[in-house]
Amino acid sequence: MEIQVMKSKLHCVTVTQAELDYIGSVTIDEDLMDAANLIENEQVHILNKNNGERFVTYVLKGERGSGVICLNGPAALKVKLGDVVIIISYANMDFEKAKTFVPWVIFPDTAKNKVK
């Protein structure tokens, strides 16, 4: 049997941009992507701590070292600049393997969106 488990988590990053006129996605600083083991086009869930919104989108690479967290397309309507969000990805895996799997959980500097 396979189950879905949390694979990666960026816990509390700050929204730096929101671009409505875009196809859709979340642009994430490549340093943060690497730290959380996220790849471009990977599906992620976004949880907005400021307003309780929860939605699903996919990752685009942002400029390395920029601290960018940009919600694009319709997702831009679910955030305001400065909102704090949690970004989570999930993976399917064998039930027994899931018991010992350790996800990548990153607690960046929320003010600067930098890996501590």
Q: Is residue 83 part of a domain?
A: yes
Q: Is residue 13 part of a domain?
A: yes
- Token pair in block for residue 47: 């949880």
> Which one from 8, 22, 25, 90 is the annotated catalytic residue?
25
Which one-letter amino acid corresponds to residue 111?
Answer: A
DSSP per residue over 69-112, as a string? EEEEGGGGGG--TT-EEEEEEEEEEEHHHHTT---EEE--BTTT
What pTM, to 2 d.p., does this model score?
Answer: 0.96
Question: For 13-30, what is the mean pLDDT?
Answer: 95
Q: Is the pLDDT of residue 41 over 90?
A: yes
Angle, CA 16 vertex, CA 12 and CA 20 arms, to 5°: 115
Burial of 29 (0-12, 13-18, 19+ CB in 10 A): buried
Tens-place pLDDT, residues 62-75: 999 999 999 999 99
Annotation says 58 is catalytic: yes
- 8: domain CATH number? 2.40.40.20
- Measure the CA–CA gap between 60 and 4, rounded to whole angstroms: 23
Helix (H, G, I), strand (E, B) or coil at 4: strand
Q: Is residue 77 part of a domain?
A: yes
**Residue-averaged pLDDT of the chain:** 97
Tens-place pLDDT, residues 85-116: 999 999 999 999 999 999 999 999 999 999 98
Q: What percent of the chain has pLDDT over 90?
A: 97
> Which one from 58, 66, 89, 90 is the annotated catalytic residue?
58
Total domains in the chain come to 1
Q: Is the pLDDT of residue 31 over 90?
A: yes
For residue 24, the model assigns a pLDDT of 78
Helix (H) or strand (E) holding 115: none
- pLDDT-derived band at 23 (thresholds 50, 70, 90) equals confident
Annotation says 90 is catalytic: no
Residue range(s) defining the domain that contains residue 73: 2-92
